[in-house]
Amino acid sequence: MAPISRDFFARPSVEVAPDLLGCVLEHETGAGLVAVELTEVEAYAGQHDPASHAYRGKTQRNAVMFGPPGHAYVYFTYGMHFCVNLVCLGENTASAVLLRAGAVIEGEDLARARRTRRKPGGDPKTPKAPRTADGVSLAPRDLARGPARLCQALDIDRSLDGADVCAADSPLRVRCERAGPSTTARSGTPLARGDDPPDPPAPAGTHPPGTPLRGTTPGAPGPRGGAALREGSTPARSGRIVSGPRVGVSAAAEVPWRFWFEGEPSVSVYRAHVPPRGGRGAGGAGGVRGSGTPP
């Protein structure tokens, strides 16, 4: 599998996102290499996307998003979690794809150790027993199931903000079998959806979750060839890509810019946006909360 071309990322994020499924993200550290096959991603459209960190312009935190494509934008949130995005399109467009989940295909032991290690400085007053002392109870599918878990499994933090994932000598890289040269990406099959994605996320009618995108023939591998599953410890990816609303995003929730492999166990649990509580109208009509993997 070849390192990915920068041209692969020099496209709108909504085109890059589904193409990233099945590609491999790997991080090499002194402790070893952990690689995941990406199974769930979300596209963000930059300054005109109200859900994007870039919506309010360039800041120190999000500066990388305004740079050239093919670099990692890593941010810290909720006081304890990192999430990683890959920058798309061109300079100053600030579009990116959030990597939401993956299946570990290499370095599983290391990934498990990182995911089960107790946080340093745990509260001494409530020394809860480590939940998984040996880590064996952590299912493989849960190693990188979710954007923050993925970062934890790969040991991604802000020191990797700006890392060039197209460089072969970078500690953080993306490999993709089918998207090596830009040709595949550019002349690739267009989205099977009839409509073009709206540039600024504008209401474009409802798009039910789990709408098939391509590779709709079961058993017939899509463009990424059955997701290039090297056999071994990894469960079979379906190769069928579906899309739905982005997770936890209040703005432009109707835009189906989340993409994942149908039926893939490492895809994160869907959570719709949670509106502020106790607020006006109380109707409770507020946020629809999904649960489980979307259909």
Partner DNA sequence: CTAGGGATCAGCT
Partner DNA sequence: GCTGATCCCTAGC
Question: Which positions touch DNA (CB under 7 A)?
Answer: 44, 51-53, 56-57, 59-62, 75-81, 83, 85, 98, 115, 123, 128, 130-131, 146-150, 152, 246-250, 268, 271, 273, 276
Residues forming beta bridges with residue 37, ordered by sequence position: 24, 103
For DNA, the closer CB: 21 or 101? 101
Q: Are the C-beta atoms of 15 and 7 separated by less than 8 Å?
A: no
For DNA, the closer CB: 109 or 225? 109
CB of 286 to DNA, least distance (A): 11
For DNA, the closer CB: 89 or 185? 89
CB of 57 to DNA, least distance (A): 7
Q: For every residue of the chain, which 3-state class applies, written as one string? A: CCECCHHHHCCCHHHHHHHHCCCEEEEEECCEEEEEEEEEEEEECHHHCCCCCCCCCCCCCCHHHHCCCCEEEEEEECCCEEEEEEEECCCCCCEEEEEEEEEEEECHHHHHHHHHCCCCCCCCCCCCCCCCCCCCCCCHHHCCECHHHHHHHHCCCHHHCCCECCCCCCCEEEECCCCCCHHHHHHCCCCCCCCCCCCCCCCCCCCCCCEEEECCCCCCCCCCCHHHCCCCCCCCCCCCEEEECCCCCCCCCCCCCEEEECCCCCCCCCCCCCCCCCCCCCCCCCCCCCCCCCC
Q: Which long-range contacts (CB under 8 A, 24 or more apart) does 109-113 make?
A: 110/31, 110/32, 110/33, 110/34, 111/34, 111/143, 111/144, 111/153, 111/154, 112/138, 112/143
CA distance 124 to 132: 18
CB of 217 to DNA, least distance (A): 31
For DNA, the closer CB: 38 or 51? 51
CB of 245 to DNA, least distance (A): 11
For DNA, the closer CB: 27 or 149? 149
CB of 194 to DNA, least distance (A): 28
For DNA, the closer CB: 185 or 253? 253
For DNA, the closer CB: 133 or 220? 133
CB of 46 to DNA, least distance (A): 10
CB of 284 to DNA, least distance (A): 10
CB of 184 to DNA, least distance (A): 27
For DNA, the closer CB: 126 or 187? 126
- What does the block give as tokens for 226? 């059955």
